[in-house]
Structure 1
């Protein structure tokens, strides 16, 4: 089984409900096992404009390869009306693979680990809740969170 950490976010529509439904969709999928997720957080957009986001991180086990999981996540995003009109556009649902085992991938379709996760409090804080011992190439979650302390985030 592969272990993956998924970042979830939404800032259009009923964001909390969308995240809850997306998690239910993941839990119901036959290739997703042992789904756990953090509490939900409200965060200000980073490098973007628009309404605040609702964010969480999920941990799951799957026999799927990383690209297969990516395609599954994109299918769920599409069910919730995800559009990509421009980079960092507001979204109904965003599901990003943050970590997949210890895989490193730099393809046109998927970059692992997620290239900006270490700069995002909305990823680091819920990830720390699920897996406080994870150390990224850039440092510990606590150290990285300290570097992001100017980003607005609060527990919902």
Structure 2
């Protein structure tokens, strides 16, 4: 994603043609969400729900969640709740980064302390096969291959996933923080109906009926009317 804890740049124009270009057909992208202030569970619920109704984003699949010890940053922080979300998108990488930053802003993210506690952190991990070394958006995410709190939920969602040609599950098993990543127990649906991110495939027209990995969730697809 962008420079850690810096003022984000994605409200302005994309810095390179590659980051500005929309794909000719939707591509798969992966976002990593984390929170350890406020009500992290409600924050992740709301963030996934917003992604499901964002024009240009479809087929949102959310991983099981992980409780993780903070990595780096000031001591004494609460544990994080982390989740990986896989999407299909017709947005450009820069537009998708803007979506991520607006989610953070909507949850009052403040970029004051490097790796400090936060209400919401949203990182763009991969965007199709695109590589970028621009400092405002490095793709794949430069530290994702070392972060068990990203890799393990991603592998729970998609055991066959790869990152830069390597197995995400194997990278996760080797990550230094892997022993501190604990899978959150499955939660029941809200009393007023299922959350947008826990609709099963057989309840959503047009989605495959194959079972999801244990604990995974998939959201209703969104079709951009334009």
Structure 1, residues 38-71: CA drift from partner, whole Å, max 9, x if none?
0111000112231100000001111101011001
Please state which structure has a larger fraction of its residues in helix: 1
SS in 2 for 1:6: strand
5+ unaligned residues in a row in structure 1: which ranges? none
Please state which structure has a larger fraction of its residues in strand: 1
How do residues 135-146 of structure 1 correspond to structure 2 at under 5 angstroms?
135-137=162-164, 139-146=166-173
Aligned to 1:21: 46
Alignment RMSD, CA only?
1.4
Aligned residues: 156
Aligned to 1:115: 142
Larger Rg: 2
Aligned to 1:12: 37
5+ unaligned residues in a row in structure 2: which ranges? 1-25, 185-226
The one of 78, 97, 100 equivalent to 1:73 is 100
> Is residue 118–residue 138 contact of structure 1 (8 Å, CA) maintained in 2?
no
How do residues 1-156 of structure 1 correspond to structure 2 at under 5 angstroms?
1-48=26-73, 49=75, 50-137=77-164, 139-148=166-175, 150-151=177-178, 152-156=180-184
Name the TM-score, length of structure 2 as normaliser.
0.66
- Whole-angstrom distance in 1 between the partners of 2:104 and 2:57: 16
How far the C-alpha of 1:139 sits from its partner, in A, is 3.1
How far the C-alpha of 1:138 sits from its partner, in A, is 7.2
Query: Structure 1's 33 and 150: CA in aligned 2 closer, same or farther, altered over 3 A?
Result: closer
How far the C-alpha of 1:149 sits from its partner, in A, is 5.5
> Is residue 10–residue 53 contact of structure 1 (8 Å, CA) maintained in 2?
yes
